[in-house]
Structure 1
């Protein structure tokens, strides 16, 4: 069960992928100027029940097609929320280690 009922996640970021042999380097950011393009700041929404948390992410990951893994991390700048997160601010730092599962009926990434 997800803490505080935050069972859903909607991410709206810009991204860039760079293939290097059997690895794909990816970078994501809510700010388009990071990639030298014009556009609007975007953000993330974590939600479920009566609580929502809003933020802007900046993160990166390496997708290894041979090892079938995704390893990365980043920062989410918390910009507000609803319910118990009303007027929330702060930074969330995170790391991730996921496994690719090609052909899975649940999708290619297994957390």
Structure 2
């Protein structure tokens, strides 16, 4: 009889613990959105001081998923004597003051991704071509990408057009997984309270049965 009573109040305790642990696991789950997109790009490089330039890039894609067909970014670059470009989103890294921080944005509709980039490129002034590569650090977003994080890889091949400003026209490939936290209920006290209530009822039932047994003896 005592063993039977123990079973009665141990069952809700086990269910309560399983429920709470399950809720905690769901609260930390991630949704992974695989991403691959080719973008036709136009890069405008405008000198602003010495060998430092402001760089504005726009890309348009026919195959990027999730409504991220438009890409745009602002960054800064330094060009050395060998035609190597180094990019940085912070102009102060190159000793330039009074200019806005750079940014990266994918998408122009409901779904958007925001971040910064870390990149480099090599310009061949004989063939008037350029090759660039780097990463895009995604730090947030909108729509299905709220609170998104990602490290996207990109590579780019360009045709160089010389002038007062340098313009690069090319094709960029951007790829990588995008992680988004799932919006699920956090563990609440309600399930735990129900379990405690059932445990209490089981305990009282056990005490009543023990009292009845003692009277009969």
TM-score, scaled relative to structure 2: 0.42
Q: Which runs of 5+ in 2 are unaligned?
A: 1-61, 162-166, 172-217
**RMSD, aligned CA:** 2.5
SS at match of 1:34: helix
Instruction: Say which structure, 1 or 2, has more relative contact order (CA 8 Å, 6+ apart).
Output: 2
Aligned partners of 1:17, 1:101: CA distance in 2, in Å? 14
Give the Å deviation of 1:38: 4.6
After superposition, give the CA deviation of every residue in 1:27-67 in whole Å (9 maximum; x if it has no partner). 11112343244565431111133111101111110111223
For 1:54, the equivalent position in structure 2 comes to: 114
Higher helix share: 2
> Do structure 1's residue 10 and structure 2's residue 69 form an aligned pair?
no
**Candidates 7, 19, 26, aligned match of 2:85:** 26
**Candidates 63, 74, 87, aligned match of 2:123:** 63
Give the conservation status (yes or no) of the 8 Å contact 2:130–2:160: no
After superposition, give the CA deviation of every residue in 1:64-108 in whole Å (9 maximum; x if it has no partner). 122332112112111101112111012112222x13165xxxx75
Aligned partners of 1:12, 1:31: CA distance in 2, in Å? 10
Aligned partners of 1:30, 1:99: CA distance in 2, in Å? 21
**Residues 64 and 58 (structure 1), Cα distance of their counterparts in 2 relative to 1, 3 Å cut:** same
SS at match of 2:102: coil
Give the Å deviation of 1:10: 1.9
TM-score, scaled relative to structure 1: 0.75
Number of residue pairs matched by the alignment = 104
Higher strand share: 1
Aligned partners of 2:77, 2:170: CA distance in 1, in Å? 21
Give the conservation status (yes or no) of the 8 Å contact 2:114–2:138: yes
